[in-house]
């Protein structure tokens, strides 16, 4: 069952009922000001950091879920109170539609002959969101309605705001000037930032104190001021500051009126100091309000946003016979890659924005799916990440985006972390050809006195693995590897400790075959990079280490039919046929094959066959099998999950992409693409009632075959699934791979395909690539021509003339 449809021309998903199986959200903003907005206008906004600079308040885990706060609008039409986005008033609408597009959301609702259409977006280079509200009288009579706006301010630090009431109920301060309501509560550190909410029309009243607006015993669905048809002109003094305007809208039959509301944030410089504690410096807010005071200016900004996305999405485009594939590759997957790049795992309807900052492992991987869009921002991110690295090559697991400092509370010791940095840097250089990044002096632990060139950080990442090998010569797992919940060093865990820091044998026994596979895959990339930069001795050293690790994997990491997952703290195999539960894990199959293990002797194929037999379901591949049905103290958190959920045999969509890549590498394009379609959202749309999450973006996890709710997704939006699935489809399956010297063409597709066309902007040139499959094979380029001339091999050369080049590829 569907709850809407894709409008590909407008790059929108159109939701046709407000009561989707779960709030289906979108993100506004892609630079510094961000908003989450649901299909009923719920959500919140923040500046840079969802924890430290939260602008509007949101209650997670609310009942009902999506009434936790939002940008709410109400209409009072002669006593009939309703909301154009259905919520919060929840009055039945005669028409409802929500269009989530690239960086904007349009919600329209109609009741009693009044149609209200609201476009929400964050203009480029602006720290504010626009709400363009259009009210239309569709009746033959004059209408006099009152339009109320509403946002609730958060007192900046979202965690403190939710917990420290004894203090915070005293601090709220606002200032009202004309149609602008300023929120100027200072936070403990006393900075002179503030927020504001304005409308470009005279108002008939306002409220800035929540209780006055809503009433002590009412809720968002029935604020007393809206029902009374009159604001109270309340000025908040502590308690809960809000901003609500009341606008009188008089409409003749058929008449339309448009209003621009602006919700903005101002980060003042020192010279912009407030005049006094009571009067804030409004210059910057006034300039923003001025810039967006007319409908023309707003429409222009919306057009600019659309052109910005035209340009971002033009870098990789497919034209194929499969609409679902086209919309995933051309629109939604790339869009989600941008969102995960910006927000890591910080703020979604599953991540509270206070728990996590930017992940080291996560951000490096997110960058893989984003680097072609805005390489300069990827470069900056790489330096931010590498600056949090530790001298021994290890890394803080996360950092806070506002301070860019490593987060001590979470610490480090996830032994896969350092390798992802190498992969990100390699992807950046292959995309841009900018080797100079390797020379950037980059601090350790943000300490400028401890700076070395980025290339040295990569070396330390590589060495971190070989300095931390276990009894079998495989990498020690540390606190966990990519699988956060496989905690093999955990027996001395103290009650109440959430993450294990102590181990029975000082963490010197438990090993990860997954990290070993990663080391072969990413370590080889490191070796190639060293070769490319002329550092032959380092390249040779790296190749030797990688070779050695491959041998170790085949000796100690091969179980007979698949790759072992790990060794536990007793030196026993994890993910082996010898185990009763958790016999086979997905991660080591994907990564070892990507690391070129078992390719020549048929072992890779054998492992992939085992994946199909034991892990595949119609909704995707489960993480391991059989699921754990009891708690294993020696495995940790993974076995605390009920069977079929999360890391305990859920379908973790992130690692499904590694199997797609592995299938593509062994030349089985049919299987690679089949797995792709099992989890790609456009293909899950038709069973949205089971899947429940947004059909336009990936979710982190879908309940596995052992779960009661098999097929139901959770944790949509912020997941490495976005970038890895984009890599799997764009590079491994469709086969367009950036390389140091050109664009490599190496498809691995279903045999039935006749061909497809890719347009790829690369190093400034535009390649129009037509891939033909006359003999119905999966892979193998037999002929490649560029601009009519045949090219040896399968690499399109770099022309550097910023022109269009037409390539034809024949598979056979
Ligand atoms: C989740 C993981 C997540 C981790 C973050 C675990 O409970 O299952 O998916 O990465 O928490 O700390
Ligand atoms: C989500 C985390 O963000 C990611 O870092 C981790 O690899 C996966 N969960 C698997 O545990």
pTM of full prediction above 0.85 = yes
Mean pLDDT of 449-474: 98
Residue 141 burial (CB count, 10 A): 9
Under 8 Å between Cβ of 247 and 146? yes
- Ligand number with the minimum distance to the CA of 361: 2
Share of the chain above pLDDT 90, in %: 91
Measured from the Cα of 646, ligand 1's closest atom is: 8
Q: What is the 3-state secondary structure (H, E, C) of 741-764?
A: CEEEECCECCCCCCEEEEEEEECC
Q: What's the whole-number mean pLDDT along residues 200-207? A: 98
- Report the separation in Å between the CA atom of 33 and the middle of ligand 1, taken as the mean of its atom positions: 26
- Domain 469-649 -> CATH class: mainly alpha
CA–CA–CA angle 117, 118, 120 (5° rounding): 155
Average pLDDT over residues 533-547: 98
Would you identify the CATH topology of the domain 26-310? Beta-galactosidase; Chain A, domain 5 (2.70.98)
Q: What is the pLDDT of residue 557?
A: 98
Which segment of 5-19, 291-305, 480-494, 699-713 scores lowest on mean pLDDT? 480-494
pLDDT, tens digit (0-9, with 9 covering 90-100), for 306-320: 999 999 999 999 999
Q: Rounded to the nearest whole angstrom, what is the distance from the C-alpha of residue 484 to the centroid of ligand 2? A: 6
Cα–ligand 2 centroid distance for 482 (angstroms): 6
CA distances, 556 to each of 236, 438, 472, 516 (Å): 67, 35, 7, 11
* Phi (first) and psi of residue 113, to 5 degrees: 80, 5
pLDDT tens sequence across 222-281:
999 999 999 999 999 999 999 999 999 999 999 999 999 999 999 876 666 666 666 788
Q: Which residue has better confidence, 166 or 401?
A: 166
Pocket test for ligand 2, best of 484, 587, 715 (most atoms within 8 A of CB): 484
| Residue 484 designated active-site | yes
| Tens-digit pLDDT profile for residues 109-145 | 999 999 999 999 999 999 999 999 999 999 999 999 9
Q: Which of 346, 350, 362, 655 to mutate to test the pocket of ligand 2 (most atoms within 8 A of CB)?
A: 362
- How far, rounded to the nearest angstrom, does the alpha carbon of residue 477 sit from its chain's CA centroid? 26
Fold that domain 736-811 belongs to in CATH: Maltose phosphorylase, domain 3 (2.60.420)
| Ligand lying closest to the C-alpha of residue 721 | 2
Q: Active-site residue among 8, 456, 484, 670?
A: 484
Strand-pairing partners, residue 770, are: 757, 808
Give residue for tokens 């058929």: 254
Pocket of ligand 1 (CB under 6 A): 484-485, 646-647
Chain centre distance of CA 274? 37
Distance 420 CA to ligand 1 centre (A): 18
Q: Calculate mean pLDDT across residues 168-173.
A: 95
pLDDT at 46 over 70: yes
Query: What is the residue with the minimal CA distance to atom 5 of ligand 1?
Result: 484
Tens of pLDDT along 640-682?
Answer: 999 999 999 999 999 999 999 999 999 999 999 999 999 999 9
Q: What is the largest CA-CA distance in the chain?
A: 84
Is the pLDDT assigned to residue 200 strictly greater than 50? Answer: yes
The residues spanned by each domain of the chain are 26-310, 469-649, 736-811
What pLDDT is stored for residue 186 in this prediction?
A: 82
Pocket of ligand 2, beta carbon within 6 A: 345, 359, 361-362, 482-485, 647
Asked if residue 12 has pLDDT above 90, the reply is yes
Q: How many CB atoms lie within 10 A of CB 31?
A: 13
Length of the chain: 812
Which residues is 104 bridged to in the sheet?
A: 121
**Which amino acid residue places its CA nearest to atom 7 of ligand 1?**
485
What tokens were used for 684? Answer: 């899950």
Least confident of 79-93, 370-384, 397-411, 611-625: 397-411
- Nearest in space to 418 (alpha carbons), one of 439, 450, 390, 441: 390
Output the DSSP codes for 335-374: HHHHHHHHHTTSBSSSSBSSS--EEHHHHHHHHHTTTTT-
Main-chain dihedrals φ then ψ at residue 151, nearest 5 degrees? -135, 155
- Residue that is written with structure tokens 């308040």 in the block: 57
Query: Do residues 24 and 38 touch, judged by C-beta distance below 8 A?
Result: yes
What is residue 633's predicted lDDT score, i.e. its pLDDT? 85
Give 646 Cα–ligand 2 centroid separation in angstroms.
10
Q: What is the pLDDT of residue 190?
A: 65
Q: Which ligand ends up closest to the CA of 344?
A: 2
Instruction: Give the C-alpha separation, 407 to 405, whole Å.
Output: 6
Task: Pick the more confident residue, 493 or 333.
Answer: 333
Distance 609 CA to ligand 1 centre (A): 29
Average pLDDT over the chain, rounded to an integer:
95
Dihedral over alpha carbons 629, 632, 638, 642 (to 10 degrees): 30
Q: What pLDDT does 501 receive?
A: 47
Is 39 strand, coil or helix?
coil
Q: Cα(638)–Cα(595) distance, rounded to whole angstroms?
A: 25
- The pLDDT, as a whole number, for residue 601 is 97
Tens of pLDDT, residue by residue over 565-613, are 999 998 999 999 999 999 999 999 999 999 999 999 999 999 999 999 9
């Amino acid at each position: 069952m569907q709850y809407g449809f894709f409008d590909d021309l407008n790059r929108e998903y159109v939701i046709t009922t407000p009561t989707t199986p779960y709030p289906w959200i979108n993100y506004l903003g892609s630079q510094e000001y961000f908003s989450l907005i649901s299909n009923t206008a719920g959500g919140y906004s923040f500046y840079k950091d969802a924890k430290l600079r939260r602008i509007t308040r949101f209650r997670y885990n609310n009942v009902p879920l999506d009434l936790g706060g939002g940008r709410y609008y109400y209409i009072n039409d002669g006593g009939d109170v309703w909301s154009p986005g259905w919520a919060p008033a929840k009055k039945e609408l005669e028409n409802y539609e929500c269009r989530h597009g690239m960086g904007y959301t349009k919600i329209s609702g109609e009741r009693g002959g009044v149609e209200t259409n609201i476009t929400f977006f964050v203009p480029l280079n602006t720290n504010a969101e626009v709400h363009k509200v259009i009210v239309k009288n569709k009746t033959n009579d004059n209408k006099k309605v009152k339009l109320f706006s509403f946002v609730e301010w958060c007192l900046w630090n979202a965690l403190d705001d939710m917990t420290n009431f004894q203090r915070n109920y005293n601090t709220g301060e606002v200032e009202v000037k004309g149609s602008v309501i300023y929120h100027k509560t200072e936070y403990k550190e006393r900075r002179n930032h503030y927020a504001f909410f304005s409308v470009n029309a005279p108002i008939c009243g306002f409220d800035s104190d929540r209780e006055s607006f809503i009433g002590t015993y009412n809720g968002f669905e029935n604020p007393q001021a809206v029902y009374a048809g009159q604001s109270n002109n309340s000025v908040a003094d502590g308690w809960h500051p809000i901003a609500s305007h009341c606008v009188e809208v008089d409409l003749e039959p058929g008449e339309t009126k448009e209003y621009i509301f602006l919700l903005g944030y101002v980060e003042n410089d020192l010279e912009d100091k407030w005049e006094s504690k009571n009067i804030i410096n409004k210059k910057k807010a006034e300039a923003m309000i001025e810039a967006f005071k007319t409908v023309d200016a707003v429409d222009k900004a919306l057009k600019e946003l659309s052109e910005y996305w035209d340009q971002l999405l033009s870098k990789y485009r497919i034209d194929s016979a499969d609409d679902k594939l086209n919309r995933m590759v051309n629109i939604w997957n790339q869009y989600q890659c941008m969102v995960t790049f910006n927000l890591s795992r910080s703020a979604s309807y599953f991540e509270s924005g206070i728990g996590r900052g930017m992940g080291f492992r996560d951000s490096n991987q997110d960058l893989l799916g984003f680097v072609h869009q805005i390489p300069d921002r990827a470069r900056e991110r790489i330096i931010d990440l590498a600056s949090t690295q530790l001298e021994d090559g290890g890394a803080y697991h996360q950092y806070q985006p506002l301070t860019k400092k490593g987060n001590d509370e979470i610490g480090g010791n996830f032994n896969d972390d350092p390798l992802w940095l190498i992969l990100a840097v390699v992807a950046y250089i292959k995309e841009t050809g900018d080797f100079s990044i390797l020379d950037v002096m980059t601090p350790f632990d943000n300490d400028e006195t401890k700076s070395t060139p980025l290339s040295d950080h990569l070396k330390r990442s590589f060495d971190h693995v070989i300095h931390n090998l276990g009894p079998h010569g495989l990498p020690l797992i540390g606190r966990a590897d990519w699988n956060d919940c496989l905690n093999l060093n955990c027996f001395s865990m103290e009650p109440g400790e959430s993450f294990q820091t102590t181990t029975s044998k000082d963490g010197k026994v438990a090993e990860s075959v997954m990290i070993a596979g990663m080391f072969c895959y990413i370590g080889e990339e490191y070796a190639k990079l060293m070769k490319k930069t002329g550092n032959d001795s380092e390249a040779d050293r790296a190749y030797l280490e990688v070779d050695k690790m491959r041998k170790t994997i085949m000796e100690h990491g091969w179980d007979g039919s698949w790759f072992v997952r790990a060794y536990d703290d007793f030196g026993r195999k994890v993910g082996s046929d010898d185990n009763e539960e958790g016999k086979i894990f997905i991660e080591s199959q994907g990564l070892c094959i990507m690391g070129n293990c078992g390719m020549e002797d048929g072992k890779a194929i054998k492992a992939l066959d085992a994946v199909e037999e034991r892990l595949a379901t119609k909704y995707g591949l489960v993480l391991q099998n059989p699921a754990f049905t009891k708690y294993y103290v020696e495995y940790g958190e993974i076995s605390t999950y009920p069977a079929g959920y999360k890391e305990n045999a859920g379908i973790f969509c992130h690692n499904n992409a590694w199997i797609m890549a592995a299938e593509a590498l062994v030349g089985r394009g049919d299987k690679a693409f089949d797995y792709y379609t099992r989890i790609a959202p456009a293909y899950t749309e038709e069973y949205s009632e089971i899947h429940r999450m947004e059909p336009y973006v990936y979710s982190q996890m879908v309940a596995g075959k052992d779960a009661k709710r098999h097929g139901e997704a959770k944790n949509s939006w912020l997941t490495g699934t976005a970038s890895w699935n984009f890599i799997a489809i764009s590079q491994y399956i469709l086969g367009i791979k950036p390389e140091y010297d050109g664009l490599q063409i190496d498809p691995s597709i279903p045999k039935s395909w006749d061909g497809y066309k890719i347009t790829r902007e690369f190093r400034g040139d535009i390649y129009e690539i037509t891939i033909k499959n006359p003999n119905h094979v999966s892979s193998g380029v037999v002929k490649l021509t560029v601009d009519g001339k045949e090219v040896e091999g399968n690499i399109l050369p770099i022309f550097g003339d910023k022109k269009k080049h037409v390539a034809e590829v024949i598979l056979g």
